[in-house]
C-alpha cells in the first residue's frame, strides 16, 4: 500500500512539473508563444469531438452547414432550399415535393437565419428553423437526422427576412416580410405603393411534440420594410420586436429615398394579446395559396399540400397590441438581451447604438404617452423608451449578441469590427477587427436566455486576401474569437459554404446523444420498400416500370434486368438493407437525367430513368461501401419500343 | 436440514442463472468498428450485443465464405433440458442424498460441461473451417493450407483485420459457482460425517 502511495506521489509531482513548465512557456515571450497558445485553443485532436455545434446558414447557397467549434471543421451541408445532387435532395422522387411552392418547383432559395428550438428560453437542440428569403418559406430541420423535414411557404410575404426566430418555448417561429407588397396581390402601379402596400408578420405555430408548423395568424402592418426581429425573453416573453426601415414608404432608389427619416421604428408586438384575440374568433380568414411540405421519416417520403386560406389580423383592431418605438437611422439588427429588458436597435446609418428599455416601454404605454400614430398604430416617444446609448462605438452597427455575463457584442460592418460593451453602463470594453466587413455574429445560445459565452463567431461579407486565391470568386469566411476573458482574442479564420449569413450554436452534448445512426428497416413504411432480397421484383404497368431493388454489401438485387423498352419510365425504388452505422449505398445508371441516390441504411429512395437508346446499360454503387464496392454493379437490357423481350430479373444466375 | 444439504440446494439452483444471463460472449474488434461487433451465446439463443451485430458479423464473414450464424442450433433444445434435468436431480439429492451423492452430481456436471465445451469447439471449428468454395476472398496459411477463421474457445486471437475475444459471461459464472458449491457441499458433508463418526 505504501509503495502504491509513493509511486502515485512521484507521478503526481512529475505531472505538476510538466504542467508548470507548460505554463511558463505560455506566459513567456509574445507572438511566437502566443500563436502557439491560440493554435492549442482551436486544436481538436484526431478522433476527438468539438465542444459546440454551429449551424451556419449558406446564404445564397440555400443550405445550412454544420460546423464544429472551436475547430471550425465542416461536417455536413444540410440541403434545405436548394437541390443537392450529392444527397439527391430535390432530385429523388421522395424529396421533390419539399421544394414545391405556389409558384411550382423552386430549386433554390436564399437561406438566412437559423434558430434552434427552445424550452423555457434555453436552447433544447431538437430542431433548427431557417428562412428562405426569395420565395418566402420557413424550413424545419430535425436534429436527430440532420435532415430537412418540413417547409412551409409564407403567403402575403416577400423577401422573408425578419425570420425565422423562435419564442422561448418554441410556441411560434416568426417570419416577417422585408418587402411590402399589395395584400392580396394585384395588378397596380408601383408608384401607388404608399398607403397601399402592406407588410405581413407571420406567426407560425409549432407543434410541441412533432414540430409541425401551421400559420396561426398574420399581422398586416403598414408598408415598411421589416428587417429583423427578436422575441422577448423572461419579463418581455409574449412580445416580439421587429426593426423597420423605409418608413418613408419609398418604392424606388431606396438607398436614398429610404434613408431620409431621422428615425424609423422598432415595432413591438404583443403576440400573446393577438393570440388571445385570434383564439376568441378575432381576425379575418382570407383566401391564399401556399405550400406545406412535410417529410415523413417512416415512409422516407415528402408530401406537399396546398393550403387555401390564412388568418389575417389588422393591428388597429386589437388595441394595445402593437406599438412603434422610434429608433434612429434605418435599424437593422433588433436584439433582446438574455434578461428580456433591453432591446438593442442597431441603426445601421447611425454612429450610436440605441438601446430601448422594456419596462420603460410598458410605463409609457401605461401612462398613454403617445407621440403620434402611423396608420392607427401608436408611436411612443423616443425619450420615454430609451434605456441608453452606446456613444460612438463604431460605424455601421448591424447585430448584437450576448454572453450572459452582462456584456453585449455588436458587429460594425463599415468599420469592420466586433465591439464588446457593457449592458447598463453602455461603456465600450474592447474591440477587435474583422476581416472583412462583418455581418452577423453568433455566441452559442447568445440570442436566448442562456448564452454559453465562450466563443463568438463573426460572419464576414468580404474575404479578399485572407486565403489562397481561387480566381475572382473567393471563399466566404467566418472568424472565431475567444470571449472568455475581459478582452476578445481572434483564434481562427475558417472558410464557409456560401455566404455565412447567420448561425445558431449550442453545446454538442445537447444534440450528439440523439443523433440517429441508421433507420430501422422494420420501421420502413415506404410504399415501394423491399425488405429482403427474396421479395425483389420488377413490375410493369403500361409504360411505367417499377423496380423493387435492394442493396447490401456488395451487390444489388436484382442486378440483371431484361425486358425494359425505349420510352419506358423506369422507377428504381432502392431499399438499403444494411443495418450498420455509416454504410450507405449510392446508385445511378448511365444516362439518367437526375442525380445519384445516396441511401442510408434502412431507407428507400427512388429515381426515374427514361432510357432513350437500345442497348445493355450498366448501373453501379456510387458510394465506396466495402472491399467489393467495385463489383457492386449490374446491367439493364433495353429493347426497342416494339420488341417482345420478356420482363425478367435475377441475381447470381444467368437470365434464361 | 443439514448445512451440506443447504449448500447443495443452492448449488443445484445456481445453474438456472443460465436462463437469465448469457453464457458466453464473442467480441470482434477492428479499426472500422469503433463500437466492436459482439454476440452473446445464451443457453437457448444467440443475441446481439448492439442491435444488428449478428447481421453485421454475417455480412463480414460472407466475404471469406463463412456460413451465416444460424437462427437456432440443436443445442438450444438440448442444453436447457440438460440444465433443468441436472437441477431437478440436484434438488432431489439436496433433499434426499448425502455428500457422496453431492460428489456424484459434481462429477456429472463436470462431464456435462466438458461435453458442452467440446461441442462448442466442434461448432466453432466447423464455422471457422467449413468455408464456401466460392468464397470471395481465400486466404492460406504460410504452409499453403486454407486459412481458418475459428474464433478462440477462450481468450483473444487475431483473425485478419479483426481481434476476436471469447470469454464466459455471468451465466457461466452461475454454472461454475453451482458446480463449485456442490463440491463444497461434498466437503462439508464429508467433514461433518467424519467428525460425528
Q: A531 in contact with B at a CB cutoff of 8 Å? A: no
Residue B16: predicted pLDDT: 96
Answer yes or no: do A552 and B59 touch at CB < 8 A: yes
What residue of B is the nearest CA neighbor of A581? B33
C-alpha A67/C-alpha A54 separation (Å) is: 5
Span A411-418, average pLDDT: 96
- Range in A51-55, A223-227, A468-472, B130-134 the model is least confident about: B130-134
Q: In Å, what is the CA distance from A537 to each residue of A15, A531, B145?
A: 66, 12, 42
Is residue A29 scored above 50 in pLDDT?
Answer: no
Residue A655: predicted pLDDT: 75
In chain A, what are the domain boundaries?
52-514, 521-650
Decide: B110 and B66 in contact? Cβ < 8 Å: no
Q: Are strands A397-402 and A407-412 parallel, antiparallel or unpaired?
A: antiparallel
CB atoms within 10 A of CB A387: 20
Phi, psi of B100 (to 5 degrees): -70, -40
Span A629-635, average pLDDT: 96
Residue A5: predicted pLDDT: 52
- DSSP conformational letter for A473: S
Q: A46 in contact with B at a CB cutoff of 8 Å? A: no
Residue predicted with more confidence, A147 or A330: A147
Residue A34: predicted pLDDT: 57
Query: Which residues in chain B are closer than 8 Å to A628, comparing Cβ atoms?
Result: 63, 136
Residue A22: predicted pLDDT: 42
pLDDT digits (tens, 9 = 90+) for A266-307: 999 999 999 999 999 999 999 999 999 999 999 999 999 999
CB atoms within 10 A of CB A277: 18
Q: Quick one: pLDDT band at residue A263, thresholds 50, 70, 90?
A: very high
Is residue A25 scored above 50 in pLDDT?
Answer: no
**Total residue length of chain B:** 197
Decide: A618 and A633 in contact? Cβ < 8 Å: yes
Is residue A598 scored above 60 in pLDDT?
Answer: yes
Answer yes or no: do A628 and B35 touch at CB < 8 A: no
Distance from CA of A579 to the nearest CA of B (A): 6
**Total residue length of chain A:** 656
Is residue A24 scored above 60 in pLDDT?
Answer: no
Answer yes or no: do B35 and A579 touch at CB < 8 A: no
Decide: A457 and A432 in contact? Cβ < 8 Å: no
Q: Are strands A370-374 and A377-380 parallel, antiparallel or unpaired?
A: antiparallel
Answer yes or no: do B59 and A581 touch at CB < 8 A: no
Distance from CA of B60 to the nearest CA of A (A): 9
Q: B35 in contact with A at a CB cutoff of 8 Å? A: yes
What residues of chain B score a pLDDT lower than 50? Answer: none
Cell of A600: 442510408
Q: Where are the beta strands (DSSP E) in A284-382?
A: 284-296, 301-313, 322-328, 331-336, 342-347, 353-357, 370-374, 377-380
Decide: A55 and A504 in contact? Cβ < 8 Å: yes
In 3D space, the residue among A119, A83, A60 whose CA is nearest the CA of residue A237 turns out to be A119
Residue A35: predicted pLDDT: 59
Span A164-182, average pLDDT: 97
User: At what angle are helices B75-96 and B3-13 packed, to 10 degrees?
Assistant: 170
Q: B134 in contact with A at a CB cutoff of 8 Å? A: no
Is residue A543 scored above 70 in pLDDT?
Answer: yes
Q: Quick one: pLDDT band at residue A6, thresholds 50, 70, 90?
A: low
Per-residue HEC secondary structure of A608-635 comes to EECCCCCEEEEEECCCCCCCCHHHCEEE
Distance, C-alpha B174 to centroid of its chain? 11
Q: A48 in contact with B at a CB cutoff of 8 Å? A: no
Q: B100 in contact with A at a CB cutoff of 8 Å? A: no
Residue B146: predicted pLDDT: 86
Q: Where are the beta strands (DSSP E) in B105-186?
A: 155-159, 162-168
Q: Edge-to-edge strands of the sheet including A417-422?
A: A397-402, A407-412, A417-422, A428-433
Span A56-79, average pLDDT: 98
CB atoms within 10 A of CB B108: 17
C-alpha A164/C-alpha A173 separation (Å) is: 6
Tell me how many domains chain B contains: 1
Q: Over chain A, what is the mean pLDDT?
A: 94
Q: A212 in contact with B at a CB cutoff of 8 Å? A: no
pLDDT digits (tens, 9 = 90+) for A483-531: 999 999 999 999 999 999 999 999 999 999 999 999 999 999 999 999 9
Cell of A63: 443550405
C-alpha A151/C-alpha A141 separation (Å) is: 9
Tell me which residue range forms the domain holding B131.
3-196
Is residue A30 scored above 70 in pLDDT?
Answer: no
Residue predicted with more confidence, A467 or B144: A467
Cell numbers 472583412 label which residue? A436
Residue B105: predicted pLDDT: 95
Looking at the DSSP bridge assignments, the partners of residue A153 are A137
Q: A553 in contact with B at a CB cutoff of 8 Å? A: yes
Residue B195: predicted pLDDT: 85
Which among A553, A580, A627 has the least Cβ separation from residue B52? Answer: A580
Per-residue HEC secondary structure of A588-611 comes to EECCCCCCCEEECCCCEEEEEECC
Cell of B114: 466438458
What residue of B is the nearest CA neighbor of A602? B52
Decide: A62 and A107 in contact? Cβ < 8 Å: no
Distance from CA of B129 to the nearest CA of A (A): 22
Is residue A27 scored above 80 in pLDDT?
Answer: no
Q: A304 in contact with B at a CB cutoff of 8 Å? A: no
- DSSP conformational letter for A645: P
Which among A580, A627, A628 has the least Cβ separation from residue B56? Answer: A580
Q: Quick one: pLDDT band at residue A350, thresholds 50, 70, 90?
A: confident
Is residue A3 scored above 80 in pLDDT?
Answer: no
Which among A580, A581, A628 has the least Cβ separation from residue B136? Answer: A628
Cell of B5: 444439504
Name the strand (E) or helix (H) holding A289: strand A284-296
Class of domain A521-650: mainly beta
Distance from CA of A573 to the nearest CA of B (A): 23
Query: Which residues in chain B are closer than 8 Å to A581, comparing Cβ atoms?
Result: 35
What residue of B is the nearest CA neighbor of A579? B52
CATH 3.30.1300.10 is the classification of domain A52-514 = no
Q: Are strands A544-552 and A555-557 parallel, antiparallel or unpaired?
A: antiparallel
What residue of B is the nearest CA neighbor of A626? B60
C-alpha B82/C-alpha B75 separation (Å) is: 10
Distance from CA of B57 to the nearest CA of A (A): 10
Phi-psi region of B160 (alpha: psi -120 to 50; beta: other; left: phi over 0): left
Looking at the DSSP bridge assignments, the partners of residue A272 are none
Q: Which of residues 622-651 of A touch B (CB under 8 A)?
A: 627-628
C-alpha B176/C-alpha A351 separation (Å) is: 82
C-alpha A142/C-alpha A140 separation (Å) is: 6
- Residues contacting residue A19 through CB under 8 Å, at least 6 positions apart: none
Q: Quick one: pLDDT band at residue A565, thresholds 50, 70, 90?
A: very high
Cβ contacts below 8 Å, chain A against chain B, sum to 16
Q: B78 in contact with A at a CB cutoff of 8 Å? A: no
Answer yes or no: do B59 and A627 touch at CB < 8 A: no
A515, A521, A555, A580: best mutation site toward chain B, by most B Cβ within 10 Å?
A: A580
C-alpha A140/C-alpha A598 separation (Å) is: 21
Interface predicted TM-score (ipTM) of this complex, two decimals? 0.87
Distance from CA of A625 to the nearest CA of B (A): 12
Cell of B128: 471457422
B28, B31, B52: best mutation site toward chain A, by most A Cβ within 10 Å?
A: B52
Amino acid at each position: 500500500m505504501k509503495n502504491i502511495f509513493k509511486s502515485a506521489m512521484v507521478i503526481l509531482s512529475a505531472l505538476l512539473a510538466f504542467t508548470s513548465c507548460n505554463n511558463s512557456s505560455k506566459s513567456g515571450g509574445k507572438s511566437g508563444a502566443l500563436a502557439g497558445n491560440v493554435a492549442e485553443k482551436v486544436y481538436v485532436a484526431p478522433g476527438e469531438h468539438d465542444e459546440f455545434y454551429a449551424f451556419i446558414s449558406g446564404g445564397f447557397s440555400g443550405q445550412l452547414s454544420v460546423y464544429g467549434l472551436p475547430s471550425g471543421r465542416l461536417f455536413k451541408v444540410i440541403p434545405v432550399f436548394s437541390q443537392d445532387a450529392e444527397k439527391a435532395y430535390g432530385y429523388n422522387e421522395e424529396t421533390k415535393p419539399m421544394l414545391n411552392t405556389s409558384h411550382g418547383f423552386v430549386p433554390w432559395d436564399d437561406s438566412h437565419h437559423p434558430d434552434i428550438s427552445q424550452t423555457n428560453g434555453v436552447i433544447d437542440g431538437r430542431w433548427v428553423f431557417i428562412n428562405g428569403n426569395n420565395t418566402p418559406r420557413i424550413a424545419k430541420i430535425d436534429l436527430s437526422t440532420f435532415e430537412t423535414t418540413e417547409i412551409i411557404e409564407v403567403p402575403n410575404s416577400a423577401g422573408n427576412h425578419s425570420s425565422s426566430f423562435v419564442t422561448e418555448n418554441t410556441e411560434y417561429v416568426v417570419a416577417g416580410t422585408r418587402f411590402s407588397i399589395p395584400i392580396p396581390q394585384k395588378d397596380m402601379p408601383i408608384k401607388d405603393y404608399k398607403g397601399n402596400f402592406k407588410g405581413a408578420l407571420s406567426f407560425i405555430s409549432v407543434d410541441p411534440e412533432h414540430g409541425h408548423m401551421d400559420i396561426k395568424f398574420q399581422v398586416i402592418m403598414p408598408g415598411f420594410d421589416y428587417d429583423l426581429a427578436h422575441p422577448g425573453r423572461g419579463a418581455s416573453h409574449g412580445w416580439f420586436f421587429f426593426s423597420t426601415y423605409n418608413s418613408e414608404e419609398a418604392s424606388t432608389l431606396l438607398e436614398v429615398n429610404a434613408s431620409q427619416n431621422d428615425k424609423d421604428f422598432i415595432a413591438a408586438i404583443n403576440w400573446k394579446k393577438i393570440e388571445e384575440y385570434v383564439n376568441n374568433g378575432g381576425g379575418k380568414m382570407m383566401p391564399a395559396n401556399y405550400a406545406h411540405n412535410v417529410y415523413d421519416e417512416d415512409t422516407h417520403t415528402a408530401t406537399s399540400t396546398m393550403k387555401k386560406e390564412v388568418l389575417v389580423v389588422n393591428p388597429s383592431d386589437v388595441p394595445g397590441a402593437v406599438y412603434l418605438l422610434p429608433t434612429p437611422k434605418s435599424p437593422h439588427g433588433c436584439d433582446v438581451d438574455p434578461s428580456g429588458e433591453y432591446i438593442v436597435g442597431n441603426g445601421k446609418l447611425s454612429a450610436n447604438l440605441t438601446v430601448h428599455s422594456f419596462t420603460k416601454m410598458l410605463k409609457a404605454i401605461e401612462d398613454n404617452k403617445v407621440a403620434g400614430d402611423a396608420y392607427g398604430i401608436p408611436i411612443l416617444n423616443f425619450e420615454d423608451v430609451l434605456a441608453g446609448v452606446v456613444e460612438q462605438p463604431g460605424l455601421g452597427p448591424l447585430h448584437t449578441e450576448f454572453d450572459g455575463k452582462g456584456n453585449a457584442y455588436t458587429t460594425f460592418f463599415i468599420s469592420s469590427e466586433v465591439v464588446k460593451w457593457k449592458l447598463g453602463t453602455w461603456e465600450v470594453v474592447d474591440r477587435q477587427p474583422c476581416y472583412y466587413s462583418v455581418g452577423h455574429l453568433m455566441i452559442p445560445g447568445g440570442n436566448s436566455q442562456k448564452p454559453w459565452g465562450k466563443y463568438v463567431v463573426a460572419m464576414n461579407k468580404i474575404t479578399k486576401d485572407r486565403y489562397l486565391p481561387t480566381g475572382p470568386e473567393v471563399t466566404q469566411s467566418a472568424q472565431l474569437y475567444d470571449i472568455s476573458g475581459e478582452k476578445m482574442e481572434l483564434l481562427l479564420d475558417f472558410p464557409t459554404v456560401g455566404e455565412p449569413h447567420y448561425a445558431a450554436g449550442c453545446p454538442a452534448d445537447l444534440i450528439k446523444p440523439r443523433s440517429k445512426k441508421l433507420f430501422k428497416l422494420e420501421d420502413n413504411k415506404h410504399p415501394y420498400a423491399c425488405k429482403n432480397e427474396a421479395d425483389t421484383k420488377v413490375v410493369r404497368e403500361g409504360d411505367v416500370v417499377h423496380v423493387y431493388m435492394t442493396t447490401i454489401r456488395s451487390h444489388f438485387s436484382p442486378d440483371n434486368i431484361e425486358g425494359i423498352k425505349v420510352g419506358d419510365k423506369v422507377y428504381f425504388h432502392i431499399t438499403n438493407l444494411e443495418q450498420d452505422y455509416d454504410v450507405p449505398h449510392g446508385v445511378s445508371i448511365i444516362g439518367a437525367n437526375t442525380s445519384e441516390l445516396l441511401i442510408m441504411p434502412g431507407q428507400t429512395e427512388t429515381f426515374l430513368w427514361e432510357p432513350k437508346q437500345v442497348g445493355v446499360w450498366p448501373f453501379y454503387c456510387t458510394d465506396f461501401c466495402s472491399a467489393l464496392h467495385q463489383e457492386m454493379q449490374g446491367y439493364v437490357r433495353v429493347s426497342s419500343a416494339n420488341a417482345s423481350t420478356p420482363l425478367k430479373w435475377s441475381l447470381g444466375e444467368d437470365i434464361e | 436440514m443439514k448445512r451440506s444439504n443447504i449448500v447443495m440446494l443452492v448449488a443445484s439452483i445456481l445453474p438456472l442463472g443460465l436462463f437469465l444471463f448469457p453464457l458466453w460472449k464473442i467480441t470482434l474488434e477492428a479499426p472500422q468498428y469503433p463500437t466492436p461487433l459482439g454476440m452473446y451465446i445464451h443457453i437457448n439463443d444467440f443475441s446481439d450485443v448492439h442491435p444488428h451485430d449478428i447481421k453485421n458479423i454475417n455480412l463480414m464473414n460472407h466475404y471469406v465464405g463463412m456460413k451465416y450464424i444460424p437462427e437456432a442450433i440443436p443445442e438450444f433444445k438440448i442444453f436447457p433440458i440438460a440444465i433443468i434435468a441436472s437441477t431437478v436431480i440436484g434438488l432431489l439429492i439436496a433433499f434426499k442424498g448425502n455428500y457422496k451423492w453431492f460428489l456424484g452430481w459434481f462429477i456429472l456436471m463436470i462431464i456435462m460441461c466438458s461435453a458442452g465445451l467440446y461441442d462448442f469447439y466442434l461448432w466453432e471449428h466447423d464455422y471457422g473451417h467449413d468455408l464456401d468454395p466460392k468464397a470471395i476472398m481465400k486466404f492460406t496459411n504460410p504452409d499453403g493450407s486454407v486459412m481458418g477463421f475459428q474464433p478462440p474457445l477462450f481468450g483473444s486471437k487475431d483473425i485478419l483485420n479483426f481481434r476476436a475475444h471469447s470469454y464466459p459471461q455471468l451465466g457461466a459464472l452461475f454454472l461454475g459457482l453451482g458446480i463449485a458449491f456442490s463440491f463444497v457441499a461434498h466437503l462439508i458433508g464429508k467433514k461433518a460425517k467424519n467428525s460425528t463418526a
